[in-house]
Amino acid sequence: MTPAALAGASGVAMPALIDTALAQLRTVFGFEGFRPGQREILEAVLNGENVLAVMPTGSGKSLCYQLPALVRPGLTIVVSPLIALMRDQVAALRANGIEAGSLNSGNDPVEQARVRTALREGRLKLLYLAPEGLARPDLAEMLREQKIALLAIDEAHCVSQWGHDFRPDYLAVGALARGIGATQSIALTATADGPTQADIRAKLFDAPPRTFVRSFDRPNLYLAMQPKVNASRQLTDFLGLHGGESGIVYCLSRKRTETVAASLAASGYRALPYHAGMDSADRARNQDIFLREDGVVMVATVAFGLGIDKPDVRFVCHANLPASVEAYYQEIGRAGRDGLPADTLTLYGIEDMRLRRMQIEESDAPDERKRIERQRFNALLALCESPRCRRQTLLSYFGEESGLCGNCDLCRGAVQLRDGTVDAQKAMSAMVRTGERFGTEHIVQILVGNKTEAVERHGHDLLPTFGVGKDQDANAWRTTLRQIYAAGLIALDIERYGRWYLTDAGRLVLRGKERISLRVPEERRARREKRGQAALPAGSPADEALLADLKVLRRTLATEQKLPAYAIFPDRTLSEIAVRRPGSIGALGEIHGIGSVKLERYGPLFLEVVRRHGSRAVPDIRVAAG
């Protein structure tokens, strides 16, 4: 059956299907209306078109295939890279009364049998599979007997060797889909630059799909980056703003992950490690705890996070520099998926830069791939040392223009620029006079005039540049080196112990033919206000005692039913209940995120908690968004 024929297979015109989809959005999911960009994508899917959708995390990508599955006949197959993601999405759908399932190695025999029976009987609306699942002959034969309405490829950037999460199994998805008779596809991702989008179109579609690229902006995320001064103190200061909240701390290595998790646990945080070197059972257990419980800090390498569908992550901290702007964007995007405010912080230092450069140069990638990876990393350094609004710099990388955001450290901190030419010349002169053979700490000690053993041994205390920068401390000079490195004036020779040497651009500045602006060093600012809290209407604060009791009930139900807590109700829903304190089932049904099945299943239990605290009638403050 052709996609066009499939669109009308139900005998209902597409405009009527959109109306039906909107009705399902309200009654099943409890959302009042479409989010920006959803309607256009849904119209294309319901019209039988193949679609590539690039949408930011938290913008409602999954509804772009879940709603068509509800309003059209046939089976929707969802290709997903992680068993944990499949399991949690299936749990959330079934909690809303939708017949969904997954077939994977993580299922017990009872669940496998349930899904296969529902599939054979034609009752299943959504089937989640790993890409390698499509390749299994027995399953492929079973699927060929089904009426497949749509194939949805989640995390579609995994198909691209230019992407940061390349997975070879994704390369076969397009051919396998055709082999089971899937005639319409939608590929979805939150992160795909131009080359990655082109790769997705070429490898997953026979003909160019209808492409939708939505704004990459996540205005609810506070963006901050800090050079490392005392990394442990900076991390604990940041986490101190988020007591009792769920979040992720990303580390560069497995050893660092274990060390940071142990340190945070000793400080009273419920911090768990996650990395690829752990026993698979321990790794799965820690992930389950993070997904199902409140107030857990996951300390992880980048092995954790792809497809994590936990909406109430209130913060993401990078204890080490990410690999690229795309990786940074994808990783901070795991915070604030519920649309509520969330906090991000990235710590970076010269050693991070050196290690990332080494990873690129020592990889087995072809020269062209290395060239692109260098460019991407340079863009990340520019973001770290940017003198202007973080969000402007980030969005410009993805080809978007924006005004000052007012929700990043640079906008809030009023960072000023100064003419840094003389300081840059002092630093580069010290490098040249020492033969461009030394690394950061040696150069810094020369500039501040510190007679270390190494400085005296090499006779560098006799150089004209010795002590030329003693008007500033060592940390100020480290900051200057990071900025001129990010500006491309100096480079690191990774193969020769991290020595600094000048680039052509640096020599122009050293000779006075070009000038360079640097950021004015920031004084340590007062402790920031706590971020990541639910934005509630003025004059209608949430009752904290009521909210705490609602969370206790949610946790109890989630534990009994072996569901993630957010699959019962997300934080946003509980916060609104705590503000409005509904006194009846009808009033509770007006709360964001409460569909008809959940209202019937959980409504009386949550109403009883509200009644114990005393209900009240307040003006409707419901946000109309899905």
**pLDDT band at 388, cuts 50/70/90?**
confident
Contact, 294 vs 555, CB < 8 A?
yes
Q: How far is CA 235 from the centre of its chain?
A: 19
Residue 180 or 248, more confident:
248
Q: How high is the pLDDT of residue 495?
A: 54
**pLDDT band at 8, cuts 50/70/90?**
very low
Tens of pLDDT along 187-211? Answer: 999 877 777 888 899 999 989 999 9
The secondary structure of residue 209, as a DSSP letter, is P
Tens of pLDDT along 465-497? Answer: 999 999 999 988 988 888 888 777 888 775 555
**Topology given in CATH for the domain delimited by 221-413:** Rossmann fold (3.40.50)
Report the number of secondary-structure helices (H) and strands (E) in the chain: 27, 18
Per the structure block, which two tokens stand in for 468?
């030329």
Tell me: pLDDT of 291 over 80: yes
Contact, 129 vs 79, CB < 8 A?
yes
Backbone angles phi, psi at 432, to 5 degrees: -65, -45
Q: How high is the pLDDT of residue 601?
A: 92
**Topology given in CATH for the domain delimited by 423-514:** Arc Repressor Mutant, subunit A (1.10.10)
Identical topology for domains 3-213 and 221-413: yes
CA–CA distance from 401 to each of 57, 329, 376, 382, 391 (Å)?
A: 19, 16, 19, 17, 10
Contact, 76 vs 100, CB < 8 A?
no
Domain ranges of the chain: 3-213, 221-413, 423-514, 544-613
Q: Which helix (H) or strand (E) holds 329?
A: helix 325-332
Q: How high is the pLDDT of residue 212?
A: 93
Q: Which helix (H) or strand (E) holds 520?
A: none
Of these ranges, 428-437, 533-542, 563-572, 580-589, the one predicted with the greatest mean pLDDT is 428-437
Residue 487: other Cβ atoms inside 10 A: 20
**pLDDT band at 9, cuts 50/70/90?**
very low
**pLDDT band at 257, cuts 50/70/90?**
very high
Tens of pLDDT along 515-535? Answer: 998 877 654 343 444 554 444
Tens of pLDDT along 128-139? Answer: 998 888 888 888
Tell me: pLDDT of 393 over 70: yes
How far is 554 from 548, CA to CA, in rounded Å? 10
Backbone angles phi, psi at 387, to 5 degrees: -90, -5
Q: How high is the pLDDT of residue 615?
A: 60
Q: How high is the pLDDT of residue 299?
A: 96
Please give the radius of gyration of the chain, using alpha carbons only, rounded to the nearest integer.
Answer: 27
How far is 230 from 347, CA to CA, in rounded Å? 10
Q: How high is the pLDDT of residue 528?
A: 47
Tell me: pLDDT of 2 over 70: no
CATH number of 3-213: 3.40.50.300
**What secondary structure, in 3-state letters, does 140-208 show?**
HHHHHCCCEEEEEECCHHHHCCCCCCCCHHHHHHHHHHHHCCCCCEEEEECCCCHHHHHHHHHHHCCCC
Name the least confident of 428-442, 479-493, 563-577: 479-493
Q: How high is the pLDDT of residue 622?
A: 38
Tens of pLDDT along 167-191? Answer: 888 888 888 888 888 889 999 998 7
Give the burial string for 336-361 (b: 16+ CB within 10 Å, else e).
Answer: bbbbbbbbbbbbbbbebbbbbbeebe
Q: How high is the pLDDT of residue 432?
A: 96
**The CATH number fitting domain 544-613, selected from 1.10.3720.10, 1.10.730.10, 1.10.150.80, 3.40.50.150:** 1.10.150.80
Tell me: pLDDT of 223 over 60: yes
The average confidence (pLDDT) of the chain is: 85
